[in-house]
Amino acid sequence: NGTNTSPVMRGVWLLERIFGQTPPPPPPGVPGVEPDIRGATTLREILVKHRDQANCRACHEGIDPPGFAMESFNPIGGWRERYRSLGEGDKVDVTAGGKKVRYKLGLPVDASGAMKDGRAFTGFHEFQALLEKEPAMLARTLLVKLLTFASGRELGFSDRAEVDRLVRESAKNHFRVGEMMRLVVGSRIFQEK
């Protein structure tokens, strides 16, 4: 909405665009994450209670941790250590564009989590370091995006072997983007379809 962030939306975005995975849609009849009246005070606590539902747990275990890692960034991408607050908090007076802007700083951002495979991180920088250890996964996602754009169609099962070949070839040159683009243009997917 431009004023708040959503770890769930951010997690889905990361899964699709960085991890190359498409999470399934929520099951029919499952309500969205709403404010909890059972004692949860933060969005993290609300999502923990939401994951207690068996039909929500499987997806949210993969979606929420990457989304929480991105909570270190405010709605416009600036770094933040604390959330803004509408209620209690430390008053902040700043000037932007010659006008005073007043708001309050609330709870600290908790950008920690654990990936589905158990690898834990305490914040965005550790999450980023985990991603850096997966160059083939990142290359595959980028190659698929480039091939989708270059061929004008979504890739299918029959394209998997060619994508695997391109990932292996790009590894020989340390996954350099220029090399990946050259491989895309020379690929069977681009040349024949």
Per-residue pLDDT tens digits for 122-150: 999 999 999 999 999 999 999 999 999 99
CA–CA separation, 116 vs 62, rounded Å?
6
Tell me the pLDDT tens digit for each residue of 66-119: 999 999 999 999 999 998 887 788 998 889 889 998 888 888 999 999 998 999
CB 155 within 8 A of CB 118: no
Q: Give which of 129, 117, 127, 108 is closest to 67, Cα–Cα.
A: 127
Q: What is the pLDDT of residue 39?
A: 56
Give the residue ranges of DSSP H helices in 70-187.
Answer: 124-132, 135-151, 160-171, 177-186
CA–CA separation, 127 vs 130, rounded Å?
5
Enter the pTM of the model. Answer: 0.81
Residue 192 or 32, more confident: 192
Confidence of residue 37 (pLDDT cuts 50, 70, 90): very low
Give residue 20's region: left, alpha or beta (phi > 0; psi -120 to 50).
Answer: left
Q: What is the pLDDT of residue 104?
A: 87
Confidence of residue 57 (pLDDT cuts 50, 70, 90): confident
Please give the structure tokens belonging to residue 28. 């029919």
